[in-house]
Amino acid sequence: MPIVAKVVLPTVEPFIMVGDYGYRPEGDECVANTDGLLGTALTVMVFFSIFVQMSEGLHFGIVPYVSRPALGVVSGMVGAGGNLGAVIGTRGIIAPDVDVDAGFIMLGAVIMATSVLFFGIYFPEHGGMLFKKGALGSYDPQLYKPDDADRGSDQMDYSAAAPAQKTNRAVEADM
């Protein structure tokens, strides 16, 4: 029987937890108590993290192509959509009445199924994953076109702007 030391948390003393010794009923099935599974678990986590980063890059990578003049708005909507997806995932897919393991399997299935939608993304100037540039003829998925004079902040010329004047006087507010 291993020696178990109980530590009151939070503590300022350094401590290392080596294994799950009887604190939970599934202690014998913990990764720390399984021979050879720790390396496999870490490898799976590394590959999972790589694919998560790639999918996030895919989501944010299309932002500049949606609407240059509304770059900030589109970026905000993409970011908020990620948060909304997290709420839907935790409340609708991994629900309190569903077993956690089954919920994560269902979450993975939903992610894989919705990722198929990215095959349909098509930009007339660049093409898409399934169609080359101009393969769909004159089809343009952007319904509302910005004016030619509209530019995003990354395309504007700020060199013509007058430099700000520095003053040391106090500004009086009208009462």
| Residue 22: per-residue pLDDT | 53
Query: Is 68 contained in some domain?
Result: yes
| Residue 152: per-residue pLDDT | 66
* Confidence band of 34 (pLDDT split at 50, 70, 90): low
- Asked whether 128 and 122 are in contact (CB, 8 A), the reply is yes
Give the integer Cα–Cα distance in Å for 133 and 142.
15
Of 69 and 133, the structure prediction assigns the larger pLDDT to: 133
65 in the Ramachandran plot: left (φ > 0), alpha (ψ -120 to 50) or beta? alpha
Query: Is 104 contained in some domain?
Result: yes
Which is nearest to 69 in space by CA: 145, 139, 126, 125?
A: 145
Query: Is 26 contained in some domain?
Result: no
Give the integer Cα–Cα distance in Å for 27 and 29.
5
Alpha helices (H) along the chain: 37-61, 63-66, 71-88, 100-115
| Residue 50: per-residue pLDDT | 93
Query: Is 91 contained in some domain?
Result: yes
Query: Is 146 contained in some domain?
Result: no
What is the number of domains present in the chain?
1
Query: Is 8 contained in some domain?
Result: no
Which is nearest to 27 in space by CA: 60, 1, 55, 64?
A: 1
- What confidence tens digit (pLDDT) does each residue in 128-175 have? 889 888 888 887 766 777 777 776 666 667 777 777 676 666 666 655
Range of the structural domain that residue 58 is part of: 39-128
Residue 15, pLDDT > 90, answer: no
| Residue 170: per-residue pLDDT | 63
Give the integer Cα–Cα distance in Å for 165 and 171.
14
Whole-model pTM: value is: 0.45
Fill in the amino acid letter for 13.
Answer: E
Distances 170 to 145, 166, 167, 173, 174 between C-alpha atoms, Å: 46, 12, 8, 10, 13
- What confidence tens digit (pLDDT) does each residue in 39-63 have? 888 888 999 999 888 888 877 887 8
Query: Is 75 contained in some domain?
Result: yes
